[in-house]
Amino acid sequence: MPRTKDTLSAAEVRSATFQGKTQKLFDGGGLFLHVIAAGKYWRMKYRFGGREKLLSLGVYPQVSLQDARKRREEARELLGQGVDPGDKRKAQKQIQSDAAANSFEAVAREWWSSVHAHRVVGSHSKRNLRRLELHVFPPLGRRPISEITAPEYLDILRRVEKTGHLDTVHRLKSLGGQIFRYGISTGRCNRDPTQDLRDLLVPSRTRHYPAITDPGEIAPLLRAIDAYSGQPLTRGALRLAAILFCRPGELRKAVWADFDLDAATWNYTPSKRKSGLAPEDATILTPLPRQAVAVLHEMQSLSGHGQYVFPSARTLARPMSENTVNAALHRLDYKGSMTGHGFRAMARTVLAERLGFPVEIIEMQLAHAVRDPLGRAYNRTTYLEQRGKMLQAWADYLDTLLQNDQVKIIPLRTA
């Protein structure tokens, strides 16, 4: 291709200004400076396939005259090879766009917003996103998810492991596995490299919530709750926590709209939606024993005019603080031996070992994953009658413990 004759000078380019109408200052080889009200832009006119086309080469002064000429020559070389420089640029932008969309961070954020944020409680999903932002995105976020290997992901986990935060290590491994599997399902990668990391990490220390499970110790706890002299709403929350043994977050966020006191039911969404419930059945229908209905009628006179059964002491627009129930247990001198979450372990242990109820019925009421012999998750109304009888038996058992000075031990039922 013949050498291009350049005609513009750096001084001409620098002094060119918009004078009320656009200008085109030509340099040579199709290159010109387009002067408009918004600024000065380098353009190149060329012909390809019998058609005249225009190629953008940058903005002055970020792109100097010398740089613009270099870009023009690169475009002319492509033309000499029979390649349209405009089409090549579009292809390069598409590659960059695809790479950005297929990066680990892009896939992770897409998975978080479209899947994870809808399956777990909000505070938990936000903590998981923050873990990824702190530990995984900085080293791997821009990498194509399909190119990330097991040793690379293991290196990240080892760094966190050295800090002693073993629970975070295992959570990051689990989160990575979910992200890679999402990438497989959306066609961005072919396999989950975290599967190769099995048994390579230091086991995490399992944290157990303090819980009282001995009937001899449950009775004094119930009497302490019954005599609680703090806020009536807090006392009501403690009583319901013992009777219904739901997760603390589910109780404090309970709304009146989910209760039907005439039918004695509570239809709520479990805070841990990975519990195995199908998306269309993402709630659990809970039969309410008469003791729970009585407590709720008491609460109605206190909070029935608002949204939440247990509103914040400061505003009706928010639920009770997550620390309220535990703080009340501390005031009752149960710090270190009982928590709001501990009522679940208390009920599970006694219902199975003392009252003889089938474990699968207990697990369903705990909103844990329970599946039939074919691996299908039971829905929200399965064994409703049996769960109702179990909850009533449990509430009656608690009344027995509360009312008798001498604890009555109910023998284990035979199958």
pLDDT digits (tens, 9 = 90+) for 309-342: 999 988 888 999 989 999 999 999 998 899 999 9
pLDDT band, very low/low/confident/very high, at 234 (cuts 50, 70, 90): very high
Token pair recorded at residue 223: 């009497």
Nearest residue to 391 via CA among 265, 276, 272: 265
Q: Which of 65, 94, 123 is the last residue of a domain?
A: 94
Residues 222-240: what's their mean pLDDT?
Answer: 94
Burial of 82 (0-12, 13-18, 19+ CB in 10 A): exposed
Which amino acid does the sequence have at 256? W
CB 182 within 8 A of CB 115: yes
* Residue 331 confidence (pLDDT): 93
Q: Identify the weakest region by mean pLDDT among 20-34, 98-112, 329-343.
A: 98-112
Residues 310 and 359 in one domain: yes
What values do phi and psi take at 146, rounded to 5?
A: -70, -15
Instruction: Read off the DSSP letter of residue 135.
Output: H
Structure-token match 């002491």, residue found: 313
Residues 337 and 250 in one domain: yes
pLDDT for 405 beyond 60: no
Residues 161 and 190 in one domain: yes
Which amino acid does the sequence have at 92? Q
CB 236 within 8 A of CB 311: no
Residues 240 and 331 in one domain: yes
pLDDT band, very low/low/confident/very high, at 132 (cuts 50, 70, 90): very high
Distance (Å, whole) CA 16 – CA 8 = 11
Residues 88 and 111 in one domain: no
> Residue 175: CB partners within 8 Å, gap ≥ 6?
128, 131, 132, 136
Domain with residue 391: its CATH number is 1.10.443.10
Instruction: Read off the DSSP letter of residue 12.
Output: H
Token pair recorded at residue 172: 């990051």
Nearest residue to 116 via CA among 181, 61, 199, 167: 181
pTM for the model: 0.55
Distance (Å, whole) CA 225 – CA 368 = 27
**Which is more confident, 403 or 388?**
388
Residues 25-41: what's their mean pLDDT?
Answer: 92
Q: Which of 64, 94, 124 is the last residue of a domain?
A: 94
CA distances from 389 to 68, 238, 287 (A): 82, 22, 9
Residues 240 and 327 in one domain: yes
Instruction: Read off the DSSP letter of residue 32.
Output: E
pLDDT band, very low/low/confident/very high, at 276 (cuts 50, 70, 90): very low
Token pair recorded at residue 253: 């966020």
Please give the residue range of the domain that contains residue 286.
215-403
| Domain-located, residue 292 | yes
CA distances from 89 to 49, 54, 92, 93, 249 (A): 17, 12, 5, 6, 53
CA 237 to chain centre: 27
> For the CA atoms of 387, 388, 390, 391, what is the dihedral angle to 10 degrees?
110
Angle formed at CA 94 by CA 102 and CA 51, multiple of 5 degrees: 170
Residues 341 and 302 in one domain: yes
CB 362 within 8 A of CB 389: no
pLDDT band, very low/low/confident/very high, at 64 (cuts 50, 70, 90): very high
Residues 74 and 177 in one domain: no
- List, in sequence order, the alpha helices (H) in 285-383: 290-303, 324-331, 342-353, 359-365
| Domain-located, residue 205 | no
Residue 81 neighbours by CB distance under 10 Å: 7
> For the CA atoms of 274, 279, 284, 285, what is the dihedral angle to 10 degrees?
-170
CB 303 within 8 A of CB 236: no
Neighbouring-strand partners of residue 36: 39
| Domain-located, residue 331 | yes
Neighbouring-strand partners of residue 265: 260, 287
| Domain-located, residue 5 | no
* Residue 88 confidence (pLDDT): 84
Neighbouring-strand partners of residue 39: 36
| Domain-located, residue 385 | yes
Domain count of the fold of the chain? 3
Handedness of CA 313, 314, 319, 320 (dihedral sign): negative
Distance (Å, whole) CA 44 – CA 71 = 9
pLDDT digits (tens, 9 = 90+) for 194-207: 999 988 888 766 55
Distance (Å, whole) CA 75 – CA 95 = 19
Averaged confidence pLDDT in the chain: 86
Neighbouring-strand partners of residue 266: 259, 286
